[in-house]
Amino acid sequence: MPIVLFLAYRAATTVDLSFANERMVYLNKGLVLAMSILSFRSIMRPTWLLDFVVSGGIGPKACTFLQRSVLRLQTEVWPRYLCYDLRWFDIRRKCPTFDSLFSIDVLIFVIWSGRILQSPTQWPPIFDEPWRADSLSDFWAKRWHQLFRHFFIGLGLYIQYDQNIVYHHSNSFFKIFISVSGKCKHVNNMEVFVLLAWTLELHYAKNGKIIYRRPISSHPVRSMSIDNLSNSSSKYALFNSLSGLLNCSGLPYCGLIYPAFQGVPASNADPYNFNGTSTDANSIASTAFRVNQKSGATTNAPPNLPAANTTVTAVDGDMVIPVSRRSLSSIRTIDNDMSRRTNSDYEQVFGGTGTESEDRDAAIIGTAYLTYTLVSNSTYNVGDCLAFCDATAGCVFVNLYYEFNNEMLDHVYSQHSNLKCAAYGDVHSAEEKLNFGSQSLSGTPDGPLTYIQQSSGWTSKSFGDPSTPEGYDPLPDLGGANEAPGYMGFVFLNKYDVDACAAICNAQDPDDVGGSCKYFNIWRAVVDGVPTTYTCALYYIPADTSTAINYGQGNLTVTQSRGYKRITYVLDGGFEDYACDGLSFCYTDTTAGWLASSPKDGYYDASIFHYQPYAHSGEAVALLGSATGHDNYSGMLTYGSSLSTEAGVRYVIEFFHSSFYSGREGEVDAFVEVYWNGSLIGTIRPGYSQWKYYKFEVVGQGNDELYFRGGKAPSYDFIDDIFVMQA
């Protein structure tokens, strides 16, 4: 027997059937199991062996703890009876053996402790939550020893028919088995515990009675699921805790249920509600009725000024004090050019009232005013006015009219013409003729008043789509405005400017729950048929056409609604492509888009989990730190391919991070390093932290590479919702 045990030990601890291939580690697990069974068979008595091999007991209908019929001698056969009787005088039956002495010792102990001192019904519970032990002393002195009382009860009830192999070897075998398995090739301690549970056919105690449990039906393999092992979470918690306690010399924190075994974080915040912030359509509508952002060519402004930049007129319902025309030059990045047109591409919207001495008219006061010029008044010069619109970025409409009694036009400006051509970024109607002049510019109270004649309006027959902002993808045309989750607020613009809305989205402060702005919806509000304002609504969750259901409220109509989604150069930054084939829990180190790797001798120091309680959003998340508690090495999470980035372009890397799994003391060493093309660009050392948003800015070199390094079990770092976008 010693030779068999020695050879089994050597085989289990030295032979590597996987040849260092993690995908073949299951062969080593099978070897450990086989050597364990071999060892059991070499040391167990035959009845124990049969009970181990035949899980239902001995016989076709037998149960483990049912009494077997006692052998009755056939006394009518006198030779057999005589031989049986003579055996009592065999000297070997009078020599005490280890088994007999051990059995007597156990019997005395059980009777003394179980009947004389106390009744088993007065004993404490089966065990005192050993996974909560905070020291080895507490574990061995108090919590672990509660387990033995289960076996004492079992022995007291079934002392003559005991077939429980756990009882005979649990005092030392657990510790010896784990010590041996720690030397096995590429097999971590938790999986060894599962193998041991499978081998020993665990028994549980309930209300003083032993309840038999069937063996675990499946082998733990890569991408393990708790659902595949057992319905008893307490079994898993117990084994995992024992594993951590027996290996405390290698880790600074004990009694932790590791993430690989579906442990519960030390503290849990309420789940984030990503659907709790939907578009505030009522606030947008009420603000649209109050805002006044209409203007036109003034009497004292010189002609041919550059077209006014986009300005913000309201933010989340609050009016903004008007600012200078150049105030948004910092966020105005690209001119909102429309397709170039010829004069034949225009049509008249409304005409003037005439040029007789008594005729009076009015100029347009409307939204999206750009600038104006003076054209020759030798004729009613429509052609030059339309050419001016062609040369003005964003112009889709012009208002051509005469302005009289303005000395600046007649004598100061070089054109010496009173025929004004005002350009607009939106189409207006005759209802918006609101500037009648009636101003005295001579400086004397009795001076002549200005007046308007022959005010006509011209618009393009067709409008080209706005150019798509850099770093965005357009959605198909929306029938209405979005009412979608992930809403971050809105701003009103003084004109329909897609690029300005994109720049505002890029510069928006991140949301604590959803991070940066990743989508905007721009649309025009028309009240009673008159363009009134231009809404730029911001979202941290990209919307789609299915939520474009707001067509207006009351006399407000939604028009020209467009959506633009911010491009992320990291595909599956939320790890949602990894699933469990219908199960709720699994983990891996490789997905289609990501590679999680460990240093030499490390085991699952980086991993990807499909388990909603661990994730920031969705069902999946990445973890840095040994998922099984095998070691305290740092892992690496690498994006699986080069990013489709461009040289010289500024990008922002953003992600959400948490490090609260192991509690305040356990997470003291939590850290994450962010690498861009192999260079460290930033490090976070949050210690204990709930989910928090982080952002780093980089400059692209083209086909850039991204990876993260961190974690030091039990200081675990979870990473989710990774994005790389243009800044």
Lowest mean pLDDT among 267-276, 660-669, 710-719: 267-276
Whether 130 and 150 have beta carbons less than 8 Å apart is answered as no
**Please, where are the H alpha helices in 537-592?**
none
Instruction: Using the predicted structure, report yes or no on whether residue 603 has a pLDDT greater than 50.
Output: yes
**pLDDT of amino acid 202:** 39
Task: In whole angstroms, give the CA distance from residue 190 to residue 676.
Answer: 35
Domain-embedded: residue 93: no
Is residue 427 very low, low, confident or very high in pLDDT (cuts 50, 70, 90)?
very high
- Final residue belonging to a domain, choices 255, 287, 316: 255
Q: Which two tokens stand for residue 596?
A: 């999680």
DSSP 712: B
Output the domain CATH number for residue 675. 2.60.120.260
The string of pLDDT tens digits covering residues 541-565 is: 999 999 999 999 999 999 999 999 9
State which residues form the domain around 303: 266-334+465-567
- Tokens of residue 250, six digits: 């290698």
Residue 577 domain-assigned?
A: no
195-204, 233-242, 688-697, range with greatest mean pLDDT:
688-697
Residue 207 maps to a domain: yes
Question: Which token pair is 386?
Answer: 């339309």
Q: What is the largest CA-CA distance in the chain?
A: 153
Residue 428, SS3 per DSSP: coil
Query: Is it the case that residue 272 has pLDDT exceeding 60?
Result: yes
CA distance 574 to 582: 19
Are 720 and 606 found together in one domain?
yes
Mean pLDDT of 81-95: 61
pLDDT of residue 110: 59
Q: Is residue 51's pLDDT more than 90?
A: no
pLDDT of residue 534: 97
Residue length, the chain? 727
- Residue 472 is encoded by which pair of tokens? 């965005």
Which position has the higher pLDDT, 455 or 12?
Answer: 455
Using one digit for the tens of pLDDT, what is the confidence trace for 160-200? 333 444 434 443 444 444 444 444 444 455 555 544 544 44
Residue 608 in contact with residue 635, Cβ under 8 Å?
Answer: no
Number of domains in the chain: 4
Rounded Cα distance, 82 and 215, in Å: 44
Does residue 91 lie in a domain region? no
Same domain, 275 and 200: no
* Average pLDDT of every residue of the chain: 77
46-53 vs 165-181: helix crossing angle, rounded to 10:
70
- 513, with CB counted inside 10 A (0-12, 13-18, 19+), is middle
| Final residue before a domain boundary, out of 511, 536, 567 | 567
Last-in-domain residue among 426, 460, 494: 460
pTM score of the predicted model: 0.66
**Could you report the per-residue pLDDT of 195-204, keeping only the tens digit for each?**
454 444 333 3
One domain for residues 480 and 455: no
Class of residue 206 by CB neighbours under 10 A (exposed 0-12, middle 13-18, buried 19+): exposed
Regarding whether 689 and 551 lie in a shared domain, the answer is no
Q: Is there a single domain that holds both residue 181 and residue 279?
A: no
Confidence at 80, pLDDT banded by 50, 70, 90: low
**Same domain? 200 vs 297:** no
- 197 shares a domain with 56: yes
Give me the pLDDT at residue 411, please.
Answer: 86
